[in-house]
Amino acid sequence: MANDSIRAVSANEPMTNLPRVHSSLSGAKPIYLDHHATTPVDPRVVDVVVSAMTTRFGNANSVDHSYGDEAAELIVNARKEVAALINHDAEAVHFTSGSTEGIRLAVRHAIDSRPNPKSPLRILVSSVEHRALLDTVRAAELAGEAVVSYIPVDYCARLDLDSFQRSCTNGVDLVCVMAANNEVGTLYPVEEVARTAAENGARTLIDATQMVGRVPMHAAKWGVTYLVLSAHKIYGPKGIGSLVTPHAVFRDSHASIAGVSDGTPNVPGIAGLGEACRLRRIEMVSDEPRMLMQRERLRTHLLDAVADLVVNGDTSARLSNNLHISAPGVPNDAVLARLRGHVAISTGAACMSGAQTPSHVLRAMGLSAAVQEGALRIGLGKFTTDDEIDEAGAHISHAVLATREA
C-alpha cells in the first residue's frame, strides 16, 4: 500500500528524506505544539499499520494457515520491540487500548492480589498523577477496596522524598508515581521510587506515558512492578498501548469469567505500536537533543519578548520537549483564542471529556492563582522545525502581549 507520500524506509535513513507529516508554514494548518496531548503518526508506522490491514491481515488466532502465522509473528515482534525500548522481558508485555486501560488493569490486579484480602489495598500516589490514575484509585477507595494517600510536591512539581520515605515506612502496598509529568514536564526518580517501595514490601505502578521513547528506561533492572505506555504519545496510532508487568494480568482477571477465551487481537494497532517503539529506540538519541535546543530557543525568545513571564516546572530534570510558561494574570483561554488558526498549544492536560478544569498539578505545586490563570503548555515534537519554532514564538508572544493590553 505504499504510495508516494507514505513509504517504508529504513530507520537509518535521514529524516530529511521523509515526507513532511504536517506543515504549518504552508499556511494550511496551525503549527502543532501540543505533543503531550498526542503525536502525529510517523509515516513509517502508518506503513506498517496499513500492511497489517491489507497484505498481512490474518487473524493472529488462526493456527491453520500462513495468514494467521504472519499476524501472530507481527505480535511477537511488537512485543519484543516494546520490551527492548524499556529494557524488560518480552513476556511481560501485555497489550491494552492505552495507558488509561493499563492503569485500570494494574490497579485491579494489585487490589485482587493484595497481601491481606480482608483489608483495603494501601495505595500511595503522587499528587500530580494523570487524572486516569487519580480517578481510578479514588474509585477503588469509594468502593472500599483501597485507602489512598498522597505524596506532596514542591513548586517545581518535584516529589517530597522525605514524605514519600515516611509514608513507605508507615506501610504501603502500591506506590504510583509517573515517570514524567504531562503538564510541566518534570521527571521523577523512577529507580529510587521503585527501590524504596520494594524495600518496604510495596509494588510500584509507573505511568511512563510521557517518558517512554524520550528518556532511556531500564524497567526490569529498576524493579518496576507495573509500567504503562501508550502508542499515540510516541508517533504511533491511538487506541493501543501496553501494560508491562511480570504478572499474568489478563489471565488472572479473565479467570473470573470462566470459560471465556481471549478475543481477536488488534494486530494493526499492535504492529504500529511495535514499529513506533523500534523507531524511538533508534532515534530518540538524536531527536531529543534537537528538541531540547529548539525548546531553549523558544524559551529564550518568549522570556525576552514578554516581561514577567515565568517558566513552571523543574528547569533541569525535565522532558526535553516540554515548555510550560505563565504570564501571570493574563487569562490563558483568551491567549489561546488569539492563537487559534496559528499555533496549537494548550492550557494543560486534555482530559477525557475535553472540558477545561483548573489544573490539579499547578494547584499541587502551590502556584499563585495569577500564575495558574496564565498557564500555557507547549510540547514540541520530532517533526517540529526551527522555522516553526520561530514562527510560533512570534505568535505566542504577540498573543500574550495583546491579551495583556486588551
Between 46 and 85, how does the x/- string for binding to ligand PLP read (CB under 6 A)? ----------------------------------------
Cβ contacts of residue 187 below 8 Å, gap of 6+?
179, 180, 181, 211, 215, 314, 317, 318, 319
Work out how close the CB of 170 gets to ligand PLP at its nearest, in angstroms, rounded to a whole number: 27
Work out how close the CB of 132 gets to ligand PLP at its nearest, in angstroms, rounded to a whole number: 5
Nearer to ligand PLP, 146 or 243 (CB): 243
- Give the bridge partners for 244, in sequence order: 93, 227
Using CB under 6 A, pick the residue from 88, 130, 324, 377 that binds ligand PLP. Answer: 130
Cell of residue 248, nine digits: 499474568
Cell of residue 357, nine digits: 478544569
Nearer to ligand PLP, 30 or 379 (CB): 379
Tell me the residue number closest to ligand PLP, measured at CB.
98
Contact status: 98 vs ligand PLP (CB under 6 A): yes
SS3 378: strand
Interface of this chain with ligand PLP, residues 268 to 287, rule: CB under 6 A: none
Nearest CA to 274 out of 116, 25, 100, 86 is that of 86
Length reported for the chain: 406
Tell me which residue has cell 499499520.
49
Nearer to ligand PLP, 302 or 375 (CB): 375
Question: Which part of the chain contacts ligand PLP (CB under 6 A), choosing from 86-94, 97-105, 109-117, 283-291?
Answer: 97-105
Contact status: 100 vs ligand PLP (CB under 6 A): yes
Using CB under 6 A, pick the residue from 210, 242, 320, 326 that binds ligand PLP. Answer: 210
CA distance linking residue 233 with residue 211, whole number of Å: 9
Using CB under 6 A, pick the residue from 31, 72, 132, 392 that binds ligand PLP. Answer: 132
Catalytic one of 156, 176, 277, 351 = 351
Q: In 306-346, where does DSSP find H-type helix?
A: 332-339
Using CB under 6 A, pick the residue from 136, 167, 186, 230 that binds ligand PLP. Answer: 230
Is 156 assigned a catalytic role? no
Question: Which part of the chain contacts ligand PLP (CB under 6 A), choosing from 93-101, 258-266, 328-336, 396-404?
Answer: 93-101
SS3 230: strand
Nearest CA to 148 out of 118, 175, 122 is that of 122
Exposed / middle / buried, residue 3 (Cβ in 10 Å: 0-12, 13-18, 19+)? exposed
Interface of this chain with ligand PLP, residues 173 to 202, rule: CB under 6 A: 178, 182
CA quadruple 53, 237, 391, 329: dihedral, nearest 10? 150
Residues that bind ligand PLP in the complex, under the rule CB under 6 A:
98-100, 130, 132, 178, 182, 207, 209-210, 230, 241
Residues with active-site annotation? 351
